[in-house]
Structure 1
């Protein structure tokens, strides 16, 4: 049974829930048991992306850059008073990214060497925020410190005080983030598609099987198709996609309509 922990607005609408159904850390044909250490350490949620990210054209149309990045730091945002009073909540998390290799970019983004991005953080309950659990979104990487990823990044509009009042969130400036749920892949030891996903370490083979069975267009999305490829192969593909798709404007998130 799913339990809603919090609602966060921004580039995705997030529902934090006890993990169920498809689960990357366990066998793709069954749910993990309570003794599974991965399940015990990570709370999985789902998200409704603001933008499409299934195709190479989606990446090129909305992203400012596609790059290999390393996560160099993380920080937690202070817990709001209303969540402290309620006794449970979602701790927002910001990570520092270093651009290790720029694969593709729009002209104005070519000189970026590092940036800060909001990404899933932690959840807590029972009036004890010190006993927090990692929070991850299904079929997405959590972006752990020390790990490396391929990601299509865009700068999303900020939230004004007026919008924040409607959304039940806090005002914030424009933020960097993945174009969508399918705009990222982990990299480990140079292998694209191996590393951290959903807060756990997975092999390339495990990730390919999971994406084919549970998401990414049944294994036909751009992300699924590039698992295992050399990152050097991607730039020409994105250049062609950019010519086909053109540049599209990121819409302002309207939580009142959700």
Structure 2
């Protein structure tokens, strides 16, 4: 395994929203009011978020999906982020997407597959959803972009995340590759040690809000685990049998960005 920070590719999902061309995906309504009683997550000001559609790289909505495809399940905290400037064409057009890279520190390794090809990393650098911009009319300024049904991975927030090692198709060295997520269901908010509470779709939600929003999604695991202890998730990971992995087409070597 290479030392230092590893790159986690954005291949877990393929965005289906281009620039600002999908206003119907804008989540402009304010978040639901917090439930009565103390919340484990501080509620900040409501921000406008543009949501996009995507295609999962692999199944990720159940515990069985995780133990089948993931090599490790980690507790991570986003410690830094950097902006990736839009293309020249987008700038000239006055609308487009601004990328973002997130730096993740691995706080704990919850579970590892017995046949994991690489030891769990200590840190990850990954390309994540950034912002959209539209400088026409009165819409100037950057607006958060997030994939629908997924956490955006924001600085200061913690998550439980499943990752898989993917070999570099341009190298014969098994130690050369990237850590990648599985799909939209591979991440569960985990602020203040509360499973489910934290950032989701670019907004900070309390546990009660998380339970309500997860009921609308496709992830059976999130619906089941929200509010439970992380040890109960670990028990499920240890006792669930993986199914046979579907055969996937091998990746082709692409030297465009090298």
Change (3 A) 1:186 1:50: same
Q: Deviations over 1:112-170 (max 9, x none)?
A: 11111121111112279x8211111112111111111111122457799xxxxxxxxxx
Contact 1:61 1:248 in 2 (8 A): no
Deviations 1:171-209 (A, max 9, x none): xx9654431111211112211101111111111111111
Aligned residues: 220
Q: Which of 68, 80, 83 is equivalent to 2:87?
A: 80
SS of equivalent residue, structure 1 residue 58: helix
* Deviation at residue 235 of structure 1 after TM alignment: 2.3
Q: Give the distance between the partners of 1:59 and 1:112, measured in 2 at CA.
A: 17
| Runs (5+) with no aligned partner, structure 1 | 1-8, 29-36, 161-172
1:231 aligns to 2:240 (yes or no): no
Structure 2 residue runs of 5 or longer lacking an equivalent are: 1-9, 34-44, 171-175, 253-258
Relative distance call for 1:202 and 1:146 in structure 2 (3 A) is same
After TM superposition, list the pairs within 5 Å mapping 1:133-152 onto structure 2: 133-152=143-162
1:165 matched residue in structure 2: none
TM-score (norm. length: structure 1):
0.73
Match of 1:169 in 2: none
Relative to the length of structure 2, the TM-score reads 0.73
Task: Please state if 1:132 is matched with 2:142.
Answer: yes
C-alpha spacing 1:135/1:174, structure 2 compared with 1 (3 Å)? farther
Equivalent residue, structure 1, for 2:37 = none
Q: Aligned-pair distance for 1:69?
A: 0.4
For 1:18, which of 15, 19, 23 is the aligned residue? 23
Higher relative contact order (CA 8 A, sep 6+): 2
Q: Distance in 2 between matches of 1:47 and 1:157?
A: 23
Query: Is the CA contact (8 Å cut-off) linking 2:197 and 2:206 kept in structure 1?
Result: yes
Task: Using the TM superposition, give the Cα deviation of residue 247 of structure 1 relative to its aligned residue in structure 2, in angstroms.
Answer: 5.4
Q: CA deviation at 1:108?
A: 3.7
- Given that 1:62 and 1:249 are in contact with CA atoms closer than 8 Å, whether structure 2 keeps it comes out as no
Residue 89 of structure 1: aligned partner: 96
Deviation at 1:22, TM superposition (A): 8.0
